[in-house]
Structure 1
Amino acid sequence: MADEDRTRTDSGAGDASAKHRPGAAASGQTRTASRRFARARQRRRWAVEGVAALACLAALISYLGIRSDPAPDDEQAARPDGVTGVAARSPGFPATDGRTADAGVAEPGLRPRQRPPSPDPTPSATAPAPPPAQQPPVLSVTRAEMPAEVDLTAVGTRDWMHWGQRGADSSVRKRAGSGEIVDEGGAGTRVAWDGNQEHIRWSDGSSQRSARDSADGVYTCGAGNGFSLSVAGSGEPRTVQLYGGTWMARGRLEARLSTGGPAGSVALEDPYTSKSAQFTVTFTVPKGARLLLTWKVEKVFTPHCGNVGLQAVAVR
């Protein structure tokens, strides 16, 4: 019985083992399938996430592209006068050639970093040359001994005048001269004479073409009487030489400018006899202004016609 029961028991155990093997195999197959399903589901999730990421990236790129284009409100910038126009670009962006691009007006349809073509350079009009600077008025007066002989053609390169050649009212001018010297008259009666110690010569005269060793001149007697002359200015330095003298008197040459400013004077005196001098006046005044000269008797030393005399004036 015991053997029989053991046999049954073993047989039952064997049957039980046989019954459980198919279940174990099925359980293993189920776990393998679950793992495969999990991996497939994870791959699908990764694919979905990848597609979603690509879609987000494409949307971001499209959004950035749209934002880069100028908005309608930005393109129509209000001008100070109330008229809307295209908004100006901000200056300072580097140009493609390395220079800094000038600020310009944005044009529709241009993408960021694009620039409209540079306009053709417009030729600028030549600016007129500035006028030469005007020198301030200048004036100086000096006196020196008169040479024994004076050549007016040489010293009066611009203009010259000579008095008394053919009487008290006669004068000779430089032919084709500038005409800058003007005889303004003067107080007193003019008298001609031919006894000057110094001689005058010229070779380009008008009414009298030439002269050699002329001792002629004019004079006027009495205190306060004399000669008035003027010389036109040009804005450039000029030198005037006046040849005159005194007889038993003190004469004074006064020089001033029609524009005002500096003035000067110098005296020549001999109480006993005659005396001659060369007066040199340098001046600068604008064109249209004049140098004014007065050569007159300041004091006489004899009641018998103490006087001042005038022979010639030259300008260079």
Structure 2
Amino acid sequence: MSHRNARLTVHGRRILVERVLSGRPVAHVAAEMGISRPTAHKWIRRWRAEGEAGLHDRSSKPRTTPHRTPPALEARVCRLRTDRKLGPARIGPVLGLPASTVHRILARHGLNRLAWLDRPTGAIVRRYERARPGELVHVDIKKLGNIPDGGGHKVMDRRRAMDNKLATTDRRRSCRPVIGYSFIHSAVDDHSRLAYSEVLTDERKETAAGFWQRANAFFSAHGITVERVLTDNGSCYKSRLFTQTLATAGITHKKIRPYRPQTNGKVERFNRTLLEEWAYQRPYQTNDERTQALTDFLHTYNHHRCHTALGGHPPISRVNNAAGQYT
């Protein structure tokens, strides 16, 4: 792309060539177009040698860089970064390099930000996004402790929280009250990040299959035809019932590699947002109060909340098919 002060674009260079080919002097054409004669001769020379391709911009990168850090030394910098997660200020003294040089090496290899690395393995995280809504939907379950009537230990001292537990339930385990857990089943569209969640009582195969049927209806109501569903290897998702439920709707079931939750990262990140902006966003007096607040959160998330991966727009902005770009 031409720089902002360039006199000629590719279109302008074509005009230059046409005027010169019509028989006019190069010096006159150059003066008309506000460029020097050497520049005009350069584009004419490139056009005669390469044709149309010669009128396009070329990279200003030098063919050789004699003073560049040797590849073997760059490899050592990268190994220290991926193996020990050291920064430029610590790698530099180890290898006898300035910190600024180490930073340039890390940036060149895409290692300058630790957030771009998988912490356990040090491998560069490969981010992806499907091309259209419904091409892939991530599904997962988040286990969340129930709230006793009156509130739990998150909002009051543990003695009062224990009294609330005793008053809320008759279930006991080793003489201690058992409040139990809620299971938040969530589905997130890979392209648009449109999300659907329900608070359910368990994670059995019948519950997971029923949730997906309602989630699929939700996506269909927004004009999204689901093609693939990605899940982890939980027992409910490995069941024949769940797979048959997807197959009946013409949906392909994909499972992540064991012990690799990053593959299902979009719904995992949504689970974190659920905790921060819904489950723990404010103190709740009862479990039902928290459950009822989920509906408002989902509406805000899908229609109003800015999403950094979508350029600051809410997920619904990628769902509307006014232009008919999705088929």
Task: Name the TM tier (shorter chain).
Answer: under 0.3
Which structure has the higher relative contact order (CA within 8 Å, separation 6+)?
1
| TM-score scaled by length of structure 2 | 0.21
Higher helix share: 2
User: Based on CA coordinates, which of the two structures has the bigger radius of gyration?
Assistant: 1
